[in-house]
C-alpha cells in the first residue's frame, strides 16, 4: 500500500511539490508568530487546594512588591534620586555595574514610589519589580530566544553529518528540506491552537528540535534505501516504491510510536503536560505527513541526480560495520554482556535520581542574569522566605462586617505564627485592632483611619467576596528548603482544623503550587512510563510479529533510561560539566524518558526489518550480522545527527534546556552505539530460531 501511494506521489510529483510549497508559504507567517501566547503557567495540579487558594487572589488587591531592579544608571545616581524620598542609602544596593537593587526595609508611600519611578525614567533606566512574576517573565523571554541561539549552530552541523552519511550534496539536502517543511507546519498548527489552550514557554523549543531531528532521521532512512534500490538497477519510480515499502514502512511504525509515546504525557494530569503532549504529537505527525508525501515526490524529481555534488572524501566507509557485525556474530554472548555492563555502570547512579521543579524560579535563569542576581541579593537582605510567602486563603461562614469573621482570622494568624520555621504572618488582625473595631471599619469605611483602610485592602474584598480573607506566612527558609516544604504540608493539614464548621480553605503561593506539581508528576510518572512501554511493545510486535524482540526492545529501553538517569545524576544533580547542582527538573525529565522510548523505535524497527529481510534466506544469526552490517552506519549516523540537533540546546540561556540536551544526547548515543550495535544483534544471534517467534514460525511454514 505504501509503495502504491509513493508511486502516485512520484507520478504527480510536481503537483505534490506545488501543494507543499503553498502549505509552506501559508505556514511560515504562523510559525514566525508562534511564541506570541506561550505561558509560564500551567504547572498547577488542577485538583489541589493551592489552585483554589491562588484563584482567590483575583478578588483582593495585593500589596505592591517594593523591591526594584534598576538597570542603566550608576549606584550613586540611583541613591541621589532615592534619598529625597525617604529611602535610606542602605536600601539601595549594588548588584553589578549598571545594576542596582532598591529594597526598602520599610514600606514607602505610593506618592514616593511614583516619584522614584519618574526620577529613574529621566535617567533612562529600565525598572523591573523583583518578584516571582518578573522572574517567570524572564524565563519566558529566555525560552523564546533559545531557537535563535541554538538553530544557527545546529543546521550547519547537521548538514555536515548528512554529507558524511550520504557523500553528496543533493542527498544531504533532501532530509533537511523535509524536516524544515515538517517543522514549519507543526509550529503553524501550534500557533492556531495557542490561544485556546495553555502552552508552555518550553514548547516551541521542544517542538522545533523534535521535528527537525525526527524529520532528518526519517528522510535519511528512506533516502538511503532509495539510493540502494537505484544501485540495484531499478527505475526511479520502482526505487521510490521499494524505498517506501521497506524504509517507509519502518518509518511509519516509528513515527506512530513516537507520536503515541509523546501523547502519553496526557496522563500527566495538568495543562503543562497536556500542552507538551499535544505539541509533540503535532510535530511528529506533521513530519510523518511530509515524509510520506513530499519526500517521494522530491525523490522522483531528483531521480538519478541523487548523487549530484558527490564528495568522495566524505562517503561513508564500508569496512567498519561489517567488522563490528562479524565480532557480534562470532561472540554474541560477549557482545551482550559488554553492552549490559556499559549500561549498568551509569545505571547504578540512576537509582538515586531525584526530580523536582524549583519553587525559586530564579535558579532557572543563568547565573549572570540581572534578575537572578537581584533575587539573590533581595534574599540576603530580607531573608529567604520573603521571595515566596505562603498564601492562606480562608472562606468563612461569617462576613467581613461581623466580629466572628475577624475572630476566626485572628485564630488562624496566631496559630500560624506559632508554628516552627515561621518568620512572620501578614494579617490585619496583627495590627493590634480588636475584632469588633475591624468589623466596624469595614462596615463604615468613612469612619475608619485611612491607614487601616489601606492595610485591609491587601487582605479582604468586602464588595467582591465578603466571606474571604487572605493571609501571608513568611517562612524562615527559602522556597526550596525542606523546612519550607514541611511547613507547607503542616499548614495544609492544620488550617481546616483552625476554622469554624462550613469554612473553606487553601494553602497557595509558588512553593505550594510547584510542590503540588512535583507530587502530581511523581504520582503520574509510573503511568506515563507504563503507557510508553506498552506502546513500544505493541508497535514493535505489530511491526515485526516477533514477541521476544518486542519484549527485549522494551527491556533494553528501560535499561537505557536508567543509564540516562545516571548521567543526569552525575551531571545535573551533582553539578558536573558546569551545571549548577540541582535536582533534574520534573517538567523536563519525564519528557526525556518518553522521547527515548519513542525515538528508539526508529532505530529498532529499521534494524529488525533489515534482519527479517535477511532471515527469509539465512539463519537468524547470519541475518543479524547482515542487518547490522547494512544498517549500522546509517543508524549511528542518524543518531549522531539527532544528537547534534539536541546538543545545540546547550547554547540556550536556560539550564533546563541544557539539561534536555544532555539527557537526549546521552539517551540517543547509548541507544545507537550500545543497544542497536551490540544488544539487539547479539540477542538475536543467541536466541537463534526463537529470535523472531512467532514470526519465524510463520516464515518457516511459508517456506515449506
Which has the closest alpha carbon to 517: 393, 356, 335, 679?
356
pLDDT tens digit string along 82-104? 888 888 888 999 999 999 999 98
Lowest mean pLDDT among 190-204, 245-259, 561-575, 656-670: 190-204
Q: Are 284 and 259 in contact (CB under 8 A)?
A: yes
Q: Are 509 and 427 in contact (CB under 8 A)?
A: no
Question: Cell 523564546 sits at which residue?
Answer: 144
Q: Are 646 and 666 in contact (CB under 8 A)?
A: no
Quick check: helix, strand or coil at residue 99?
strand
The CB density around residue 206, as the number of other CB atoms within 10 Å, is 23
β-strand pairing of 422-426 with 504-508: unpaired
The CB density around residue 394, as the number of other CB atoms within 10 Å, is 23
pLDDT at 678 over 50: yes
Rounded Cα–Cα distance for residues 523 and 543 (Å): 32
- 401, with CB counted inside 10 A (0-12, 13-18, 19+), is middle
Rounded Cα–Cα distance for residues 39 and 620 (Å): 52
Share the mean pLDDT of the chain. Answer: 89
DSSP state of 95: E
- The answer for residues whose C-beta is within 8 angstroms of residue 153's C-beta and 6 or more apart is 648, 651
Lowest mean pLDDT among 271-275, 443-447, 647-651: 443-447
Specify the DSSP element, H or E, that contains 254: helix 249-263
Catalogue all structural domains in the chain, each as residue range(s) with its CATH number.
Answer: 1-32+168-310 (1.20.1640.10), 66-129 (3.30.70.250), 389-508 (3.30.70)
105, three cell numbers: 526595609
Task: Please compute the mean of the pLDDT values over residues 352-374 and round it to a whole number.
Answer: 93
Share of the chain above pLDDT 70, in %: 96
Per-residue pLDDT, 697: 47
73, three cell numbers: 544608571
- The answer for residues whose C-beta is within 8 angstroms of residue 330's C-beta and 6 or more apart is none
Rounded Cα–Cα distance for residues 694 and 690 (Å): 8
β-strand pairing of 390-395 with 504-508: antiparallel
pLDDT tens digit string along 502-543? 999 999 999 999 999 999 999 999 999 999 999 999 999 998
- The answer for residues whose C-beta is within 8 angstroms of residue 647's C-beta and 6 or more apart is 661, 665
The pLDDT-based confidence of 167 (bands split at 50, 70, 90) is confident
Q: Are 666 and 560 in contact (CB under 8 A)?
A: no
Per-residue pLDDT, 701: 39
More confident: 114 or 573: 573
Per-residue pLDDT, 314: 53
Residue-wise DSSP of 460-475:
-BTTTBTTEEEEEEEE
Which has the closest alpha carbon to 226: 287, 291, 320?
291
More confident: 429 or 621: 621
Which has the closest alpha carbon to 663: 671, 476, 406?
671
Rounded Cα–Cα distance for residues 544 and 551 (Å): 12
pLDDT tens digit string along 54-67? 999 888 876 656 78
- 126, with CB counted inside 10 A (0-12, 13-18, 19+), is middle
Per-residue pLDDT, 431: 67
The CB density around residue 590, as the number of other CB atoms within 10 Å, is 25
Quick check: helix, strand or coil at residue 133?
helix
Rounded Cα–Cα distance for residues 323 and 319 (Å): 6
Task: Please compute the mean of the pLDDT values over residues 648-652 and round it to a whole number.
Answer: 92
Q: Are 426 and 471 in contact (CB under 8 A)?
A: yes
Sheet holding 92-96, edge to edge: 92-96, 99-102, 68-71, 126-129
Task: Kindly report whether the peptide bond that precedes residue 694 is cis, defined as omega within 30 degrees of 0.
Answer: yes
pLDDT at 416 over 70: yes
The pLDDT-based confidence of 318 (bands split at 50, 70, 90) is low
Rounded Cα–Cα distance for residues 119 and 130 (Å): 19
Residue-wise DSSP of 328-349:
HHHSHHHHHHHHHHHHHHHHHH
Task: Please compute the mean of the pLDDT values over residues 379-388 and round it to a whole number.
Answer: 85
Task: Please compute the mean of the pLDDT values over residues 680-688 and round it to a whole number.
Answer: 94
Task: Please compute the mean of the pLDDT values over residues 336-365 and round it to a whole number.
Answer: 95
Across the strands, what pairs with 507?
Answer: 392
Per-residue pLDDT, 204: 85
pLDDT at 461 over 90: no
Rounded Cα–Cα distance for residues 552 and 341 (Å): 16
Q: Are 150 and 648 in contact (CB under 8 A)?
A: yes
Per-residue pLDDT, 448: 67
Sheet holding 468-475, edge to edge: 422-426, 468-475, 390-395, 504-508
Which has the closest alpha carbon to 81: 103, 112, 45, 108?
112
Q: Are 68 and 173 in contact (CB under 8 A)?
A: no
Supply φ then ψ for residue 671, to 5 degrees: -70, -45
Rounded Cα–Cα distance for residues 446 and 441 (Å): 8
Rounded Cα–Cα distance for residues 557 and 258 (Å): 13
550, three cell numbers: 518486542
Task: Please compute the mean of the pLDDT values over residues 21-36 and round it to a whole number.
Answer: 89
Which has the closest alpha carbon to 502: 411, 397, 394?
397
Q: Are 686 and 333 in contact (CB under 8 A)?
A: yes
Per-residue pLDDT, 436: 83
Which has the closest alpha carbon to 479: 367, 569, 389?
389
CA dist 114 to 80, 86, 109, 319, 354, Å? Answer: 16, 13, 9, 75, 45
Rounded Cα–Cα distance for residues 515 and 525 (Å): 15
Task: Please compute the mean of the pLDDT values over residues 573-577 and round it to a whole number.
Answer: 91
Amino acid at each position: 500500500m505504501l509503495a502504491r501511494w509513493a508511486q502516485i506521489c512520484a507520478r504527480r510529483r510536481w503537483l505534490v511539490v506545488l501543494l507543499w510549497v503553498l502549505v509552506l508559504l501559508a505556514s511560515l507567517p504562523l510559525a514566525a508568530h508562534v511564541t506570541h501566547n506561550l505561558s509560564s503557567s500551567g504547572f498547577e495540579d488542577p485538583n489541589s487546594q493551592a489552585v483554589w487558594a491562588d484563584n482567590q487572589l483575583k478578588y483582593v488587591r495585593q500589596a505592591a512588591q517594593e523591591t526594584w531592579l534598576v538597570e542603566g544608571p550608576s549606584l550613586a545616581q540611583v541613591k541621589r534620586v532615592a534619598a529625597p524620598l525617604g529611602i535610606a542609602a542602605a536600601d539601595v544596593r549594588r548588584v553589578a555595574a549598571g545594576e542596582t537593587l532598591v529594597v526598602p526595609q520599610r514600606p514607602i508611600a505610593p506618592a514616593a514610589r511614583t516619584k522614584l519611578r519618574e526620577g529613574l525614567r529621566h535617567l533612562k533606566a529600565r525598572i523591573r519589580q523583583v518578584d516571582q512574576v518578573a522572574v517567570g517573565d524572564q524565563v519566558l523571554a529566555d525560552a523564546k530566544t533559545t531557537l535563535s541561539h541554538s538553530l544557527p549552530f545546529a543546521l550547519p552541523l547537521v548538514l555536515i553529518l548528512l554529507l558524511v552519511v550520504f557523500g553528496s550534496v543533493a542527498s544531504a539536502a533532501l532530509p533537511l528540506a523535509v524536516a524544515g517543511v515538517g517543522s514549519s507546519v507543526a509550529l503553524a498548527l501550534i500557533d492556531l491552537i495557542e490561544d485556546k489552550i495553555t502552552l508552555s514557554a518550553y514548547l516551541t523549543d521542544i517542538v522545533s528540535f523534535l521535528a527537525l531531528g525526527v524529520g532528518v532521521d526519517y528522510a535519511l532512512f528512506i533516502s538511503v534505501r532509495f539510493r540502494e534500490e537505484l544501485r540495484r538497477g531499478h527505475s526511479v519510480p520502482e526505487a521510490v516504491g521499494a524505498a517506501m515499502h521497506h524504509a517507509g514502512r519502518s518509518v511509519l511504525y516509528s513515527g506512530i510510536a513516537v507520536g503515541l509515546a509523546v501523547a502519553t504525557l496526557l496522563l500527566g494530569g495538568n495543562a503543562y503536560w497536556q500542552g507538551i503532549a499535544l505539541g509533540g504529537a503535532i510535530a511528529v505527525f506533521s513530519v510523518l505527513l511530509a515524509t510520506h508525501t513530499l519526500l517521494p515526490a522530491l525523490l522522483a524529481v531528483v531521480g538519478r541526480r541523487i548523487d549530484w555534488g558527490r564528495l568522495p572524501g566524505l562517503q561513508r566507509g564500508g569496512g567498519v560495520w561489517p567488522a563490528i557485525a562479524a565480532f557480534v556474530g562470532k561472540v554474541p554472548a560477549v557482545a551482550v554482556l559488554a553492552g549490559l555492563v556499559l549500561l549498568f555502570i551509569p545505571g547504578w547512579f540512576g537509582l538515586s535520581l531525584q526530580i523536582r521543579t524549583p519553587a525559586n524560579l530564579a535558579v532557572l535563569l543563568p547565573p549572570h542574569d540581572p534578575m537572578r542576581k537581584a533575587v539573590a541579593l533581595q534574599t540576603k537582605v530580607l531573608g529567604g522566605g520573603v521571595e515566596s510567602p505562603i498564601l492562606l486563603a480562608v472562606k468563612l461562614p461569617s462576613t467581613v462586617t461581623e466580629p466572628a469573621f475577624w475572630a476566626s482570622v485572628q485564630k488562624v494568624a496566631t496559630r500560624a505564627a506559632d508554628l516552627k520555621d515561621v518568620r512572620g504572618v501578614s494579617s490585619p488582625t496583627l495590627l493590634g485592632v480588636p475584632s469588633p473595631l475591624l468589623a466596624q471599619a469595614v462596615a463604615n469605611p468613612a469612619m475608619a483611619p485611612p491607614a487601616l483602610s489601606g492595610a485591609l485592602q491587601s487582605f479582604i474584598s468586602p464588595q467582591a467576596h465578603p466571606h474571604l480573607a487572605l493571609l501571608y506566612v513568611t517562612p524562615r527558609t527559602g522556597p526550596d528548603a525542606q523546612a519550607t516544604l514541611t511547613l507547607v504540608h503542616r499548614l495544609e493539614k492544620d488550617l481546616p482544623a483552625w476554622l469554624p464548621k462550613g469554612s473553606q480553605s487553601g494553602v497557595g503561593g509558588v512553593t505550594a503550587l510547584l510542590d503540588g506539581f512535583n507530587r502530581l508528576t511523581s504520582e503520574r510518572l509510573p503511568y506515563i512510563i507504563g503507557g510508553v512501554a506498552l506502546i513500544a511493545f505493541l508497535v514493535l510486535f505489530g511491526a515485526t510479529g516477533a514477541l521476544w524482540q518486542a519484549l527485549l526492545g522494551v527491556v533494553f529501553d528501560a535499561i537505557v533510561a536508567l543509564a540516562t538517569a545516571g548521567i543526569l545524576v552525575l551531571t545535573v544533580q551533582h553539578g558536573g560539566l558546569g551545571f549548577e547542582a540541582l535536582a533534574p527538573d520534573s517538567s523536563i525529565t519525564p519528557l526525556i524518558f518518553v522521547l527515548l522510548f519513542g525515538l528508539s523505535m526508529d532505530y529498532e524497527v529499521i534494524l529488525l526489518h533489515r534482519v527479517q529481510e535477511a532471515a527469509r534466506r539465512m539463519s537468524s544469526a547470519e541475518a543479524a550480522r547482515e542487518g547490522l552490517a547494512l544498517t549500522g552506519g546509517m543508524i549511528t549516523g542518524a543518531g549522531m545527527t539527532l544528537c547534534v540537533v539536541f546538543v545545540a540546546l546547550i547554547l540556550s540561556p536556560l539550564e533546563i534546556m541544557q539539561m534536555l540536551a544532555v539527557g537526549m544526547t546521552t539517551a540517543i548515543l547509548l541507544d545507537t552505539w550500545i543497544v542497536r550495535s551490540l544488544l539487539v544483534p547479539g540477542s538475536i544471534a543467541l536466541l537463534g530460531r526463537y529470535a523472531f517467534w512467532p514470526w519465524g514460525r510463520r516464515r518457516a511454514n511459508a517456506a515449506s
